[in-house]
Amino acid sequence: MILVLAGLTLAAAALHDIAARTIPNRLSLGIAGLGLLARVLADEALAGLLAGCLVFLLACFAWRCRVMGGGDVKLLAACALLPPPAAVPGLVLAVALAGGALALTYLALQPLLPAPALARPGALPARALRAEAWRIRRRGPLPYGVAIALGTFFTLLG
């Protein structure tokens, strides 16, 4: 049940990151709470917290180097609480690989996108797709929350 709730919360964080390039703190806190509950139930609370803190420090360094956003830092640290502590290095690797795949996807989509059209009234998904196409054409920042969510899913399923 914990993993299902965490998966739904991760999906919400990834979708929010795509739409607005932000990850709400409440989603990261929810994932951290679920991860902490999982670690307490597995009697790995201290090791889980230590692993989460180490990932947070690593992600803070990436933020300081301007390669990761602040919301991504919080989400990644929260996600580090979900798997057993021994699986956290694999989680970081899975997130990095998912981030590389995401970047390659965005690069591959650039030449395939049509020229920007005039804004038309429409449903929210159509507007969101147009906004994302605009970001891709301008080589805007990646929604790295998607990579964090995918890497976490793969780690938890493995």
How is the chain split into domains, by residue range?
2-157
Residues 131, 154: Cα–Cα separation, whole Å: 28
Which of 110, 79, 81 lies closest to 94 in space, CA to CA?
A: 79
Q: Which two tokens stand for residue 11?
A: 């999906």
Residue 25 CA: distances (Å) to CA of 22, 74, 135: 9, 8, 23
Please give the span between the terminal C-alpha atoms of the chain, in angstroms, as a whole number: 17
pLDDT at residue 135, rounded to an integer: 80
Give the tens place of pLDDT for each residue, 17-62.
Answer: 998 899 999 999 999 999 999 999 999 999 999 999 999 999 999 9
- State if pTM tops 0.85: yes
Helix axes 45-64, 88-109, angle to 10 degrees: 40
Find the radius of gyration of the CA atoms of the chain: 17
Give me the chain's average pLDDT, please: 90
Q: Give backbone dihedrals phi and psi of 48, rounded to 5 degrees, phi first.
A: -65, -45
What type of residue is 21?
Answer: R
